[in-house]
Amino acid sequence: MDYASLKLTHQVAVVLSAAGFFARGLGVLAGAAWVRGRIAHSLPHMVDTVLLGSALMMAWMLQLNPLSTPWLAAKIAGLLLYIGLGLLALRPGRSMAQRAAAWLAALLCLGWIVSVAMTKHPLGALRPLFGAL
């Protein structure tokens, strides 16, 4: 697969993953039954597998190392934070207020990750605020 096709695959997977997380978060907060169904549990794993696989393949093709590429290291750190917040938001055991706060924080984190990818800068959209540091 050429790089352009791989990048497009990754971008489509990002959109699908984000839309799925957004919908599942709304569903959880609304108490919808569909979020407990098989598709709601298995489809995100399939999409995220494509997302991760395409990311790894692009990094390999471009010979990017997160230890020497600060924006990539920032994306990986953001991804770990996004996953943790997503778990708090979508799994039972917390109050609805806590889950809503985690869901909103995860969405903000996701937006920041995308901004890092677009700017190729570790601060992403936060660069104008903290770029002088």
Domain that holds residue 48: 1-63
Same domain, 115 and 130: yes
Same domain, 36 and 76: no
- Rounded to two decimals, the pTM is 0.91
The per-residue pLDDT for range 61-82, each reduced to its tens digit, is 999 999 999 999 999 999 999 9
- Say whether pLDDT at 118 is over 90: yes
- Say whether pLDDT at 132 is over 70: no
Q: What is the pLDDT of residue 1?
A: 86
The per-residue pLDDT for range 4-62, each reduced to its tens digit, is 999 999 999 999 999 999 999 999 999 999 999 999 999 999 999 999 999 999 999 99
CA dihedral 63, 13, 115, 62 (to 10 degrees): 10
Instruction: Name the domain boundary from 9, 36, 63.
Output: 63
Q: Count of domains in the chain?
A: 2
Same domain, 107 and 73: yes
